[in-house]
Amino acid sequence: MTIRPNSIEARDVARVMHPYTNAVVHEKVGPMMIEGGDGIYVIDNEGNRYIEGLGGLFCASLGFSEQRLVDAAHRQMQKLPFYHSFGGKSHDTAVELAERLVDLAPVPMSKVFFANSGSEANDTAMKMVWYYHNAIGKPNKKKIISRMRAYHGVTIASASLTGLANNHRDFDLPIDRVLHTECPLHYRYANPGESEEDFATRCADALEQLIQKEGPDTIAAFFAEPLMASGGCIVPPPTYYEKIQAVLQKYDILLVADEVICGFARTGNMFGSETFGMKPDIITMAKQLSAAYQPIAAVMVNEKVYQALREGSGKIGTFGHGFTYGGHPVATAVALETLKIYEERDMVNYVRSIMGDFQDGLHAFADHPLVGNARGVGLIGALEVVCNRETKEVFDPSWGVAAHVGERALKHGLITRALGDTVNFCPPMIITKAEIADMYARARLALDETHAWLQAGRPAAAV
C-alpha cells in the first residue's frame, strides 16, 4: 500500500501509536481504516466489506449494527451521561446490572465490582486476592499461579499473569509473586502415547509440585481462562479442571475464572465455567458483557471473599481501589440491554444450534497440508499451522506463516488474527450457518495460497 501524503492513513502513521503492532512496519504500510459495520461485516474507507472472523477482538458478539445498543446508549446519555461509584454513590443501571450478573453466575456469587477492561478486572482480582489474605490473617499467602500461554491482560500485574513471552520481553515482567505452571494443550505438550486424561493428571501433578516447592502457605490463587483463547484457543483435556480444583482445595487456594472471552454464551453456555465444570471464588468478565459497544468489565466475588474484603475495609476505613469510569452509567446501560438481547434471542441455544456447523467446518481443515491441529469449543476455534504434520514441527517464526494466512484472508474479505502459530476464529455470535460456510471458504483460499507461496519459496511479491 502506498500512503498518500495528508491522507487519513498518513495522519495515523504520524500520530497514533498502535497496540500489538510492529511500529517499523506500520510506518511503511500504514493502517487499515475501518469506517462502518453491518452485521458480521466491517467496511473499510474504500467500501470493501470483510467478515469479521474474530469479532473484533473476541468481543463483538452481536455484530456491528445492533440498533438497540445504540439507542440504549443514547437514552442514558440524555438521562445521566456520567457519574461515579466512589464514596458509596450509585445509580440505577449499575445496581440492575450487578443484580443481573449475580443471577446469571454459574456458581453462587455475592457482589460485583465494575471496571473498564478485562485487564483492569484481572488486575483488580489480583489486588482483591492479596487484600483478602491480609484480612484473614495470612499475609504470607500472596503468590499467584497462572499458566504458560495464558492471556490475562496488559497492565503490569495482569501482563505478569499472561504467559506469553512477547508480553514480558523488555517490559521487565513478570513481577514477583506471579508463577506459571504447565499449559494444558495435549496436542503440543503431551508425551508420546499419553492419553488426554493422563495428560490432565500430569498437569495437576505439576501444579501440586509447584505448590509444594514454593510452600503451600505462600500460594494465594490460581488464575485460569476456561478456554485459553489468545494463547492459541487451548481447550483443556477431559478431567483437567476436576483434577486441578482438587489440588487447589487441598491447599486452600482461591480459583479465579477469567471469563473475559468465554463469558456470555461463547462456549455454548452462559459462562465457560459451566462448560468446563469450574467452581471459582472470583469471576472476571468484559468484552461480550456489552457486546463491545461500550468499555466495561466486572469482577464477581463470592460471599467468603466479600466478607474478608468487607472486614478489611472496616479496619482500614476504606476499600482503597476503584476507577473513575468503573460502572459508568452509559456502559452499564448498554451492558444491561446486551443481556436483555441475549435472553430474548436465547443466544445460548442459538449458539448451540450452530456450533456444530462451526466446529465441523473448523475440523474439516484437518486435511490441509499446513494444518497440524484444529481445535475449539462453541463458536471459538483455531488452526495450528505447522511445517510438518507428522512431527508437528513449526515454521521458523521469522517467516510469519500464520500471519501470511491472515494477510491472504484479508484479500478474500476475511479478518482473522494470527497469534503465534495459530489462525483464530471467533465471529459475532449472530453469524448464520451460511455465513460460517462462507467464512471457512475464504479461509481455505488463504491457506491454499499460503501453501503455494511456501512451495514457490516465499516470493516477496506474493505477500
pLDDT of residue 2: 81
pLDDT of residue 435: 98
Percent of the chain topping pLDDT 90: 97
pLDDT of residue 86: 97
CATH class of 69-344: alpha beta
| Cα gap 320→219, rounded to integer Å | 23
* Burial of 160 per CB tally in 10 Å (0-12, 13-18, 19+): buried
Q: In the CATH scheme, what is the code of domain 32-65+346-462?
A: 3.90.1150.10
Q: Grid coordinates in use for 320?
A: 482503597
User: Would you tell me how many other CB atoms lie within 10 Å of the CB of residue 415?
Assistant: 21
pLDDT of residue 463: 43
Amino acid at 119: S
Q: Where in the chain is the domain with CATH 3.90.1150.10?
A: 32-65+346-462
* Burial of 360 per CB tally in 10 Å (0-12, 13-18, 19+): exposed
Q: Identify which of 446, 395, 389, 421 has the alpha carbon closest to the alpha carbon of residue 231.
A: 421
**DSSP secondary structure string for all residues of 21-46:** --HHHHHHH-PPPEEEEETTEEEETT
Q: Where in the chain is the domain with CATH 3.40.640.10?
A: 69-344
Q: Under 8 Å CB-to-CB from 120, ≥6 apart: which residues? A: 153, 155, 158, 297, 323, 326
pLDDT of residue 459: 86
pLDDT of residue 461: 53
Q: Is residue 268 a contact partner of residue 376, using CB atoms and an 8 Å limit?
A: no
Residues of the chain under the 70 pLDDT cut: 1, 461-463
